[in-house]
């Protein structure tokens, strides 16, 4: 009877020991999994902190270039130099905007030499370069020239009606010519675009 009891108790101990062993193994596996997850999260956090997951290269270049322009403006010795730097920045922004359209429209490197001049022609008419400072007074377009002439006529309080009428007619003719040039440039660009690309250019304000 004792042997049978010992065998039962011994078996019970074996079952108990086995149960403890399984729980210990499960607990150990859980700790290992938790350690792996924690290590992965910690690794990601360290990569973020070290700057390995930084902004895209294009954005980094833009930030660096903007900082360079800002630094030059701070160190400029005269207003004339400041205006020159601002004009350079405006030209750089224009170039960057045109180049960005290449990626947005999905234009290949082979197609770009044909498409780029047409985009630039429309871009220059829709978004002409701004003026910087009093030194930049020379008219750049026919509309600017005719506007300057009419403004000069109106400075004379005694200017006769015929002179005003002639100046106004010339300005309107120049504006109409510009509208026609823009329509032609937009047509040339639209001919190379798919419907999707045309829609994107409408959203960008380059096509109507």
User: Each residue of 9-43: pLDDT tens digit?
Assistant: 344 444 434 444 444 444 444 434 434 344 444 44
Q: Would the pLDDT of 100 be above 50?
A: yes
Rounded distance between C-alpha atoms, residue 116 and residue 189, angstroms: 9
Tokens at 82, concatenated: 């400041």
Q: What is the mean pLDDT of residues 139-148?
A: 87
Tokens at 1, concatenated: 């009877």
Q: What is the DSSP letter of 78?
A: S
Rounded distance between C-alpha atoms, residue 58 and residue 65, angstroms: 11
Q: Would the pLDDT of 129 be above 90?
A: no
Q: Would the pLDDT of 51 be above 60?
A: no
Q: Read off the pLDDT band of 174 (50, 70, 90).
A: very high
| pTM beyond 0.85 | no
186 vs 64, residue with greater confidence: 186
Tokens at 50, concatenated: 């070290």
Give the residue extent of every domain in the chain.
57-203
Tokens 């039962």 appear where? Answer: 8
Burial class (CB in 10 A: 0-12, 13-18, 19+), 185: buried
pLDDT of residue 110: 95
């Amino acid at each position: 009877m004792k042997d049978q009891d010992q065998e039962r108790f011994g078996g019970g101990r074996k079952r108990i020991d086995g149960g403890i062993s399984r729980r210990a193994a499960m607990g150990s596996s859980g700790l290992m999994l938790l350690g792996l997850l924690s290590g992965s999260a910690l690794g990601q956090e360290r990569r973020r902190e070290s700057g390995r997951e930084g902004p895209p290269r294009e954005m980094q270049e833009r930030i660096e270039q903007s900082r360079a322009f800002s630094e030059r403006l701070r160190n400029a010795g005269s207003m004339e130099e400041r205006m020159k730097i601002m004009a350079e920045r405006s030209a750089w922004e224009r170039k960057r905007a045109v180049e960005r359209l290449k990626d947005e429209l999905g234009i290949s490197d082979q197609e770009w030499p044909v498409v780029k001049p047409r985009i630039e022609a429309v871009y220059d008419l829709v978004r002409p370069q701004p003026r910087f400072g009093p030194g930049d007074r020379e008219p750049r377009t026919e509309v600017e020239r005719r506007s300057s002439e009419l403004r000069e006529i109106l400075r004379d309080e005694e200017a006769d009606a015929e002179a005003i009428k002639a100046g106004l007619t010339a300005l309107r003719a120049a504006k109409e010519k510009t509208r026609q040039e823009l329509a032609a440039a937009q047509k040339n660009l639209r001919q190379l675009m798919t419907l999707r690309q045309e829609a994107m250019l409408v959203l960008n304000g380059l096509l109507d």
